[in-house]
Amino acid sequence: MAIPAATLAANRTGAASRTSQPGHRPTGRRRVDLTYYVFLVPSLVLFTLAITVPAVMGVIYSFTDSIGFGDTRFIGLTNYIALFSDPAIFDAYLFTIGFALVTVLVVNVIAFLFAIGLTSMIRAKVALRTVFVLPMVVSGIIIAYVFNYLFSNSLPQFASAVGLGPLEESILANPDLAWTAIVVVTAWQAIPSTMLIYIAGIVSIPGEVYEAASLDGASAWRRLRAVTLPLLYGYVLINIVIGFKNFLNAYDIIVGLTDGGPGTATRSVAMTIFSGFTGGDYAYQMANATVFFLIALALALVQLRLTRGKVAVR
């Protein structure tokens, strides 16, 4: 049935009058509460002054011959050209990326196994969870110094007592084995936080899913492979992305264990960049930091592309 034109005109007039009434606000616009700005502006200013401005200045200095102070002059892409032909820089990137890949694998496998064990029907699992998360609250440099003593003194003495020849000398002094000590110590500190994320994922899985799988005759291994792992896919991706990003920035544990040695066998990119502050290569290492940032950004974009629409934390 057609609506009379007079009725439509009356409706329009009524709507216009309501809109013009005092105190009436259009539904399409919302006023932002002042409280949001009170919290946003100080944080934005601090972030800009502490992160954005130094980063921009670092990029600018990478095109100069600055040593960190004094006069500087613009030299264009000279630092970047030298960077790509520097074997020490290549070795640092090779070690850092290889270390990050190995540590991500070790941390996630062990953390997942611990999470499965600490969510099963065992006694005192809450107390055990507390014990297992202790490493994550200890400073990395303190952990490194403690393990340095263990690898340099306790382990060689134990190896000598039981006749383990390869371990009678400190592995921190072995260019071929020092990286394994760094992986062990880094994993020891990183496993608890990764484990907590897996525990959160496991306890969020409805029990009815496991009951249905059991009624279908699925064994424990089958339930783990066909139920738990697929439902934890989002958590696995989160741990991999966060872990790889953190391990690329490895610094304090390496300093406390090997200080980049023996020689430069375990020198990470972060250590190499930091050396520019005291070694007179400020602008050169700023170019290195810029390249490192671009690589990290590219990896983040690739990971975001691969995980888009697939990370579903339940």
Q: Are 68 and 220 in contact (CB under 8 A)?
A: no
Using only C-alpha atoms, what is the Rg of the chain? Answer: 28
Quote the tokens at residue 219: 């064994």
Which single residue is written with the structure tokens 């084995």?
A: 177
Angle CA(84)–CA(86)–CA(89) in degrees, nearest 5?
90
Q: At what angle do helices 53-61 and 282-307 cross, to 10 degrees?
A: 120
Condensed to tens digits (0 to 9), the pLDDT of residues 38-66 reads: 888 999 999 999 989 988 998 999 999 88
pTM for the predicted model, two decimal places: 0.80
Total Cβ atoms within 10 A of residue 228:
21
Helix-strand-coil split of the chain, %, nearest 5 = 75, 0, 25
Q: Identify whether 96 is part of a domain.
A: yes
Quote the tokens at residue 223: 């339930």
Q: Identify whether 58 is part of a domain.
A: no
The number of domains in the chain is 1
What is the residue-wise DSSP string for 215-259? HTT--HHHHIIIIIHHHTHHHHHHHHHHHHHHHHT--HHHHHHTT
User: Rounded CA gap, 1 and 115, in Å?
Assistant: 66
Condensed to tens digits (0 to 9), the pLDDT of residues 80-107 reads: 999 989 999 999 999 999 999 999 999 9
Phi, psi of 23 (to 5 degrees): 90, -10
Condensed to tens digits (0 to 9), the pLDDT of residues 103-119 reads: 999 999 999 999 988 88
- Which residue in 204, 194, 209 sits closest to 246, CA to CA? 194
Condensed to tens digits (0 to 9), the pLDDT of residues 199-223 reads: 989 888 888 888 888 888 888 888 8
Q: Identify whether 158 is part of a domain.
A: yes
Mean pLDDT across 230-249: 88
Banded pLDDT at 310 (limits 50, 70, 90): low
Condensed to tens digits (0 to 9), the pLDDT of residues 138-175 reads: 888 899 999 999 998 988 888 888 877 777 888 998 88
In this structure, what CATH number is given to the domain that contains residue 126? Answer: 1.10.3720.10
User: Rounded CA gap, 203 and 228, in Å?
Assistant: 10
Q: Identify whether 283 is part of a domain.
A: no
User: Rounded CA gap, 114 and 194, in Å?
Assistant: 10
Give the residue numbers spanning the domain of 239. 87-275
Confidence (pLDDT) at 13: 52
Q: Identify whether 300 is part of a domain.
A: no
User: Rounded CA gap, 77 and 123, in Å?
Assistant: 63
CA dihedral 229, 183, 97, 246 (to 10 degrees): 70
Q: Identify whether 222 is part of a domain.
A: yes
Q: Identify whether 57 is part of a domain.
A: no
CA atoms within 13 Å, Cβ hemisphere of 170 = 14
